[in-house]
Structure 1
Amino acid sequence: MQIATSIRDTFIHTVKDVFPGLTTEDPLYNALALGFIVIAALIFWLLARVFLRAQIALWIKRTKTKWDNALLDHGFFKRLMHLVPAIWIFMVTPVLINDDTVLHGLLLKGSQLYMLFSALLALYALLNTLEDIYNESHLSRKASITGFVQVAKLGFSILVLLLSISLIIERSPLIIVSGLTALAAVLLLIFRDTIMGFVAGIQIAANRMFTTGDWIQMPKYEVDGEIMEIGLTNVKVQNWDKTISTLPSYSLTNEAVKNWRGMQESGGRRIKRAIYIDINSIHLCSQDMLDRFSKIRYISDYIDKKLNELRAYHRDYSIDETDLLNNRKLTNIGTFRAYLEAYLSKHPRVNQSLTLMVRQLPPNELGLPLEVYCFCVDKEWTAYERVQADIFDHILAMLPQFDLKVYQRDSHLGSAGYLPASGHSAPAVYSDHATPDE
């Protein structure tokens, strides 16, 4: 109180020395007081920004913790510096300006609004810092808090807005809130996406459905890429072609979404691809073929085992091996399938603890699909594709060794609707597995 009286007396004495006979009720006095308050507030803000903030930054750089560096980077201390001039105006205004003037009320309300919004901006910086610290921790892989941070920002913004309105109209905030109930339906319509996004964010976090870095696919929105950010109302996904897709947050819970996180956390990435075998190249194995196959390292034991089983079967049922109708023989397709299973079981880049098989799918007009089903230990895209290509390079190259052919429709048969000119014979037609020389 003594300091306030001293400031008032010093200021009035200085003013009267310059303007003799000037009283505190004169407009000129109020103008001079306003100028003094504003100029002093500006000086205090500059001093705080230059010296105080610089000293704080120096202290922060000397510490080993990271959270204070994040506060500095997000401008937390810079925004707090605005409280210095706001507090100065709020404290000095009642001292220098009479409370019955309009200027007195304007300065007090203006300083209070200044403090409210400065504190709100500093709170924003604090929330951004908390989000960055959380994102750098291992917990961020389990759930994202971006949506909750945005909800907190929205809540504090609404609170500051209500306090500002109540300060301006000089009414209790509860009266303003009670008056908003009549507009509840309109507010629900305006904040529909925000409310749905908030509910979806709770579901996503509680069930650990998605988090930043997850690879998702949503055919409905043509989305195929990694989640960059899960916000309150929107989700940003960077597709593999480097485009950015923005989706409503609630679409992650309302639409069909494939999340590849399970594959990334598992022991391998699935290889599931079929090649079509020309059915006309499938036949029983001759003795010459069996002799040739028995020299292949991967299936030499398999050939011996199967031949022993067949000899025992023929002996038990008294079947002559020359009897083509009743005896059993190996086929080149079955032997090739056994070779592929043995080859994959020895492949260093195939996970042997997960499902591994080579199976036949139902034959169709394109031939007999022979499908490879296994898991590659390399889950990174380029490495995975390289391993998959190497496997099928080997499969295609080994087909002739088993007297098998892969199906391929001849390109010159694509003109099925060709009609010859009058007086000319129609071109010869070949089957898909034949060539003109045959």
Structure 2
Amino acid sequence: MFVPTLMNLADEEQQARWLQPALNYDILGTYAQTELTHGSNVRGMHTTAMYDPDLFEEGGWHIHTPSLEAVKWWPGGLGKSCNCCILMARVIIKGKDYGPHPFFFQVRDWETHASLPGIELRDIGSKLGYNGMDNGAMRITHVNIPRRNLLMKFVIVEKDGTYRKVGDDKMLFGTMTYTRLKISSGAGFNLAKAVTSTVRYSAVRRQFQMQRVVLGADIDNHLDDDEKDALAAQDQLKNLVKPSKRTEAQVLDYSSQQFIIFPQLALAFAMHFAGQEAEKLYNAALLEFKASKFDALTEMHVLTSTLKAVSTVLMADGMEQCRKCMGGHGFLNAAGVGPQYLSALPQATYEGDFVVLSIQVGQQLLNAVSSKMMKGKTSNRRRLRSSTSTSTIRPSVSCLPRRPSWTPCFRITTSSWRR
């Protein structure tokens, strides 16, 4: 989130100072927004940035964490790794509160990596999973930074304290939209990894003998057309399928296992392609944002919030189902699914909880319906309507063979079910 914020919210001069060093890893940054008692309610955060025109030559900001509740909590990499961050703090100018704004904020010495004066940093400790990330906490006690450390692409504060907007100030929270998009795009991949392990395990693991194996002698002379086709298919496969009462069946052959695994496999593909299409829409909207056209801003918020809320919950539930399908072995770290699940599980919560995002999306949809009823038009349906009509996200079954190789097996099985 650090680099995308610099790219989207810093002006050209600020990007020249900080963006290239960030891309070269000369500086390591994170995104410090969430506080100990404020996460989803961004506008309720307590960390303040009071403007003082007498600080430095061009004015500056007095950054302060007023209470324990305002301690920055959870920023990834802040515990040990990062030496700077994008700090979200309430801008206060001449007693007027303008709400949270992003600042470039150095937290550690560039050379020694020691915490700077007035800044207390620590790792928040062990977590349920994802312990490779050193999530940190930060308390700031009366630290001054230059005026130009406020990212000023869409908001400008002059030396005399004059505050003016450039474009839509909602873009100040655009990083969250981008982050939710990337989380949604990765949800399908996380689920696919779990499904892959589970399918492979189910193909190797054998358990019990199948209760019913269809043999030629089991089919009587009263055959309808479908059953004749099944018998012909069995003849084709008699040299390939050699059932034995002494051989246990692959777990993957059981319909109860397929009933759980196959929908998760399909869901992984669906989430992957949905994420790809959402990225295309976001990139198209981003070009409009750069041209100072912000009509699609609300639409992108709704789209990314919906995908993030739904895909991460489905991902977490699906990965847990996959773990259960591996039996006792699924509980081992060596199986891989458990650690993957615990590392991916926080995605269902951070950067927007399912319930909170669902309420926000519902409100926007109700507003769109109300606008349609009152004015006869809505402004946020253009991209979604056009995207659903494109063939790129509507795969056709014409690419499948007319008689795929698994058709004989399927017909034999269905014939057995009918019996």
TM-score after normalising by structure 1 = 0.26
Greater gyration radius: 1
Q: Which has the higher contact order (CA 8 A, sep 6+)?
A: 2
